[in-house]
Structure 1
Amino acid sequence: MSGDERPSAPTELDRTGREALRELATREPATLRAASSYLEELASWKSRREEGEATAAADPETYPDGVPERATVSVTEIGGTEYYYYQWREGDEIRSTTERR
């Protein structure tokens, strides 16, 4: 691509992503660089969280006493501290518990 050609937007974006890129395209270079830096950090953070969730869900030893292995596990951050949130069904009731990570 030459220096005069505008870059192409990624094709794998949904409608909301395309709209966000259209809006960002109207911004100044400094704003774009700041957004780019933030988005890289956000992507890294989300990847780490997803890896943690997959590890927690796949490792039955991480389940506290009384929580069945079929429980859904998610990681939630509150006030800078991460917690495992376990949720499962017992009959007609939904049960849950939260444990500090």
Structure 2
Amino acid sequence: MPEPPTPPTGLPDELVDSLEACSPEQLRQVATYADELATYRDEEPTETVAEPEADDRPDAVPAKATITVKEINDNRYYYWQWRDGEHVHSAYKGPVTPDG
């Protein structure tokens, strides 16, 4: 490879600088860890709170979906969640409490 690869846009400069300082073996370890972490976060367990009602489910959400609660920045939100093969899909439903 004549030139080093260009980092993806959106990565923090500090992360790019740290990666550029790594050895090839460390980079391979980081790649493995990053892939495993992404898979974990895609399938991160969430609290199941109720079975969805058919009349309340959007058209794009399948009948097998359940309602889950996810906490983001100390706020709790309802999401429709379902599995399609190896992928877990989510669709926003609304805040757990009406004020956020």
Larger Rg: 1
Report which of the two has the higher share of strand: 2
Q: TM-score normalised to the size of structure 2?
A: 0.47
Report which of the two has the higher share of helix: 1
